[in-house]
Each structure stands twice: as C-alpha cells, then as structure tokens.
Amino acid sequence: MDLGSDVAGSESRFAAFVERLAGTLGHADRVAPMKAYCTGLMLPGDRKSVEPMAARVDPGRVRAAHQSLHHFVAKADWADASVMETMRDLVLPVLTKREPIRAWIVDDTGFPKKGNHSVGVARQYCGQLGKQDNCQVAVSLSVANEQASLPVAWRLYLPEAWAEDPLRRAKAGVPDDITFETKPQIALDQIRQAKQAGIPTGVVLADAGYGVDTTFRIGLRAMNLDYVVGVQSSATLWPPGQGPLPPKPWSGKGRPPSLYRRDREHKPTSAKALAASLSDEAWQMVSWREGTNTTLTSRFAAVRVRPAHRDYWLSEPHPEEWLLIEQPDGEAEPTKYWLSSLPGTTPVPNLVANAKLRWRIERDYQDLKQELGLGHYEGRGWRGFHHHATLCIAAYAFLVSERSLIPPSGPRISAILPAPAVPDDYRPRGTPHADRAARG
C-alpha cells in the first residue's frame, strides 16, 4: 500500500492504514472496534484509557462503545505479532525512503501503578519517576535512522516473584510459555526474532542496564551484530595491548591447563581508572547533531581494550573492542562510557554518532506516552496490556510515516484527526454523576 506523498490526505490514509491492520484480526466483528480504538488513540485528549476514548469516538453511545472497546482490547484473542508485522510492512518502506536503517535500539520504560494486582507490577526502578517505586516495566526494540525511529517489538518484563506465582499468573492471564527472563534476555529474544523476520539490521544500541551484561554482548556477537552499548565506570578492562595471562605451563601430569588467568601484579583496571590515565592528546572535540538551539558537541576519547569480566574461566580471552569515553568540558571526570564491537578502523566521530543516536528512543517513548496514551491502560491482564501497547505503537507508526513524508524542516505532525464533540454532561468514572453520564 502506498501511504502517499502529501499531508492533506492524512485522514484517508489513516483509514486505509487501519483497514490493512484490521485484516490480521481473524474475525470480521473485531474490525469496527479496532478502527474505533485506533481512532480514539489519534484523537486529541488528555486521557487515552477505554472510557474517555469511548466518549470521544461515539459520544451518543458511550456505554455501548466502552463495552465494545474494553472487550476488544482486554478479552479478544487476536495476535499482537500479526498486527506488528503488518505495521512494519507498511511503514518501514516509508521510513527508509530517504535513509537506510542505521541502528536497533534496545530500551525499557516504566509505568507507575498503584496496588499489586496489575500484571507484572512490582517495586522496581521506574525511569519515568527516576527512582524505585511500584510500576510495570516493558522492554522494547526500535529500528532507527537519523530521521525517525519505530518500535518493532514490545514485551512486559515479568519479575521473578510474578513468574513463580501460579495464582497471580492465572488471574492476570500470563501465557504458560512465559517464564522469568531478565531484561537483557528479553531483548536478545526480540533481536533474534527481528533478524528471523528479515527486518533491516543496524548497530545495536543500549544503555548500561544492558551493556554491563556480558552475556548480552556475547549474544549480539553470536548473531553477527555490532553494538555500541553503555557500561559503568567500574567495568573491568585490560588496557590497550594487554590481556589475561596464558594458561599455566603443563606439568606433564593430568589434563593440560586451558584457562586464562591473572595475578596480583597482572590484573585488569576499571574504565574510570583507564580514562584518568589518558593523556590530553587522547581527547578530541566531536559534534554529532544539531540540537534545539545549538550543535551538540562534547569531548571524547576512544581506546582499544579487552573486557575482563570473568575471563579467568575462559579458554579464550574476550575479543578486543572500543572503549568510548565522554568527558564534557568543565566536568572533573568522565560522565559516560560505552563498549563497541565496531571495527578497529572506525573513526571516533562515527563511534560517537552511533552512541548518540540512542536519543531517538526517548522521542519514541515521549510521543507514545504523551500523544498516544501508552501508559493509560487501566486493565490488569497480560493480554490487555500488550493489546493496548500494540495499538499505540501502530498509531505511532502511522504518525512516523506521515512525518517521513515531510522535509526535515517542515512542520511536526502530532495529531491527524480533528477534536470530537464530547457530551456536556460526560464525566469519567470516579467523578460525580459518572454513572449517569455513562448511561447517557
């Protein structure tokens, strides 16, 4: 389907887009509520939970519309993967028309939640709040180039206490094949599936929550994917030209030693200590993109190192890779560190450009939450949580495709559909006269 080349036909293109997505649902009676739900997500409004959307899309039949939308998103048995696949097929050709995919961005986002009954809710770090609190967390994979990005995979992180609680699993409808996995494990699953689906690949980008996981990085190498991932200042590394000691000489008895080793005199250092040891000549100023008011520029150094994580249990040392360090002017010490498997001939500005492209995921989450209500779902079940997110991502994908049709200097599209007329006496549940308004 050609999504077109002008903005004037946005409404008709949106209708055609949703019609194609609805073809994956399996039952004709799901098409109308899907169209209504996606329309509700695209309409202006502060709240994108089911009842306020029902009032906007069908103000004359709020109660009936609410029941229809709730059943469609929380109960109906349609496949998120099929909708996401069709969405990708429609939008990726538009997204890559000017520039190929440059990166796959891994990240997670939190949704504050009160109570303990919503699926996956637990006291854990919530990026939206910047602290530990009661929340749900989902892991996503986005494809990106310099102009745009798009989530192509999404899954709720199920804490171990939830994964091992059969009563709560049953009540929330968690599928039997979902077991406890760490966030990096979920991300590797998503990446593996994206490769199998033939999605154009790019350099994998992730913050230190994923980059510090050696198994995650090894998994990416096993799939022949390069990466630029954040690490902490405490990451243990072998400085340039160094590595673990070879196995001990064989004594002639028993099995020959095969494990690499270290001792008191020969041991790795931290990323922070390595950065402090660099000369002034090792640093350079690098610009990577235009910000809101100025060109974004900072001070960087890059050296070839070997990660040292538990290499005393290995018969081969970890491969050599880049350590990229950022220390902005005026800062007493570095603020960010990355490890990268990109080739040793890669120029430092290219390393920086890749590392900094991860900012696009922040825009994804900002738009998905503020414009499309990604965090507004009020149900408690696994199916509803993922159905709502899938439809939010599909609506966002259409916005991305529309923005891709406009030159970079053109206006930014945030809403496609005009604001509806909501009944004067409508009140959301929990406010005075809400029941009467719902019946109206």
Q: Indicate the helix (H) or strand (E) that contains 337.
A: strand 336-340
Which residues fall within 8 angstroms of residue 27, CB to CB, at 6 or more apart?
76, 78
DSSP one-letter code for 261: B
Tens of pLDDT, residue by residue over 69-123, are 999 999 999 999 999 999 999 999 999 998 999 999 999 999 999 888 899 999 9
Q: What is the Cα gyration radius of the chain?
A: 25
Helix, strand, coil % in the chain, rounded to nearest 5: 40, 20, 45
Cβ neighbours, 10 Å, residue 160: 12
Strand-pairing partners, residue 135, are 112, 122
CA angle 350, 351, 354 (to 5 degrees): 85
Going from N- to C-terminal start, the domains of the chain cover: 10-207+361-439, 222-247+259-356
Distance, C-alpha 346 to centroid of its chain: 26
Work out the burial of residue 159: count CB atoms within 10 Å of its CB; fewer than 13 is exposed, 13-18 middle, 19 or more buried. Answer: middle
| Dihedral in degrees, nearest 10, Cα atoms 50, 138, 191, 312 | -170
Q: Are 352 and 286 in contact (CB under 8 A)?
A: yes
Tens of pLDDT, residue by residue over 311-358, are 777 778 888 999 999 999 989 999 999 999 999 999 999 999 999 999
Structural tokens at position 345: 């001939």
Report pLDDT for 440: 33
Report pLDDT for 242: 85
Which residues fall within 8 angstroms of residue 90, CB to CB, at 6 or more apart?
1, 3, 17, 20, 397, 401
Q: 3-state class of 316 per DSSP?
A: coil
Report pLDDT for 342: 98
Give the position of tokens 């990466």.
Answer: 227
Report pLDDT for 3: 44
Q: Which regions of the chain are under pLDDT 50?
A: 1-5, 7, 430-440
Cβ neighbours, 10 Å, residue 42: 23
Q: Indicate the helix (H) or strand (E) that contains 395.
A: helix 382-404
Structural tokens at position 59: 């103000």
**111: amino acid identity, one letter:** F
